[in-house]
């Protein structure tokens, strides 16, 4: 084999991961205007500063509602009935609006790229494309992988040569070993003690070799 011929790419692009990531963010982008419209219908601002304030953590919106309650009766005398009515009114308001607030907060947790365009919250679709491509791209040290492959392939070739000799001379297959226990190597099931036959089958092609050792040679 010509050692200068690179068999492995520096970057592996997973089309399924790319499409799944794009679709996930596109669905969020489609839902966002309706969620903001729900806030607006309740008389709430929908600029980035306010939305950031009520979605920055799990309790942010409840704390904002509680502040409204305090401000409404600050410096005023309210009867018990009025206080109870105010509390019930704001609790109902919270129950109506919190699902939309939580949905927007969930999008932020999923790192949906949002931007403030003249007071309007928008999804940065160019950033979505960048995120999807990054998620789908695995960068590997192809040089080290190839060096390892070249040594492994020599073993595979030796096994093949031995098997050819056995067949030509009517000898039994000494590489046969049915007893092997499968374990996980970098997330892929391979025998923990590979028989020579299994070794040959697993590592006979660069594509199979790359899939098994992809994470081993992944660039940090």
Sign of the C-alpha dihedral, residues 204, 210, 215, 220?
A: positive
Q: Give the span between the Cα atoms of 146 and 9, in whole angstroms.
A: 10
- Measured in whole angstroms, how far is the alpha carbon of residue 90 from the centre of its chain? 38
Are residue 168 and residue 98 in the same domain, yes or no?
Answer: no
Q: Are residues 21 and 130 in the same domain?
A: yes
Task: Please check whether residue 118 lies inside any domain of the structure.
Answer: yes
Query: What Cα–Cα distance (Å) separates residue 183 from each residue in 22, 29, 195, 197?
Result: 33, 41, 14, 17
**Do the domain assignments include residue 1?**
no
Q: Please give the tally of structural domains in the chain.
A: 2
Q: Is residue 196 part of a domain?
A: yes
Q: What angle do CA 53, 54, 60 make, to 5 degrees?
A: 105
- 83 plus 153 within the same structural domain: no
- Say yes or no: 19 and 89 in one domain: yes
This prediction's pTM: 0.69
Give me the helix-helix angle, 15-41 and 125-136, nearest 10°: 150
Structural domain containing residue 102: 12-137
Which residues contact residue 18 at a Cβ distance below 8 angstroms, ignoring those fewer than 6 apart?
A: 132, 133, 135, 136
On whether both 108 and 157 belong to a single domain, the answer is no
Last residue of a domain, one of 137, 165, 185: 137
Which residue, of 137, 153, 180, is where some domain finishes? Answer: 137
Q: Are residues 145 and 97 both part of a single domain?
A: no
Q: Is 75 found in the same domain as 98?
A: yes
Q: Within this chain, do residues 87 and 173 fall inside the same structural domain, yes or no? A: no
Q: Which residues of the chain have pLDDT under 70?
A: 1-4, 72-80, 82-83, 171-197
Q: Are 66 and 171 found together in one domain?
A: no
Q: Give dist(CA 161, CA 179) in Å, integer.
A: 23
* Domain annotation covers residue 218: no
Out of 117, 137, 157, a domain closes at 137
**Position 3 in a domain:** no
By C-alpha distance, which of 125, 115, 124 is closest to 48? 115
Quick check: 30 and 22 in contact, CB under 8 A?
no
Q: What is the model's pLDDT at position 182?
A: 46
Q: Is residue 2 part of a domain?
A: no
* Contact of 220 with 160, CB cutoff 8 Å: no
Helix, strand, coil abundance in the chain, percent, nearest 5: 60, 10, 30
* 98 falls within a domain: yes
């Amino acid at each position: 084999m010509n050692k200068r011929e690179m068999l492995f790419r520096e970057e592996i692009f997973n089309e399924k991961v790319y499409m799944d990531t794009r679709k996930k963010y596109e669905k969020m982008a489609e839902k966002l205007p309706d969620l903001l419209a729900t806030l607006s219908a309740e008389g709430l601002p929908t600029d980035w500063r306010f939305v950031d304030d009520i979605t920055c953590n799990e309790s942010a919106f409840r704390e904002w509602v509680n502040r409204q309650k305090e401000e409404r009766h600050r410096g005023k005398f309210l009867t018990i009935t009025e206080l109870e009515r105010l509390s019930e009114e704001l609790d109902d308001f919270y129950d109506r609006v919190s699902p939309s607030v939580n949905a927007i907060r969930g999008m932020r947790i999923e790192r949906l790229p949002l931007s403030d365009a003249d007071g309007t919250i928008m999804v940065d679709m160019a950033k979505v494309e960048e995120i999807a491509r990054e998620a789908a791209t695995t960068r590997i040290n192809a040089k080290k992988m190839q060096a390892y492959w070249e040594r492994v392939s020599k073993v595979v070739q030796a096994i093949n040569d031995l098997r050819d000799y056995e067949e030509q001379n009517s000898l039994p297959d000494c590489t046969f070993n049915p007893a092997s226990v499968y374990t996980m190597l970098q997330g892929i099931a391979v025998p923990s003690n590979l028989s020579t036959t299994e070794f040959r089958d697993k590592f006979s092609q660069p594509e199979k070799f790359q899939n098994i050792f992809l994470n081993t040679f992944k660039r940090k």
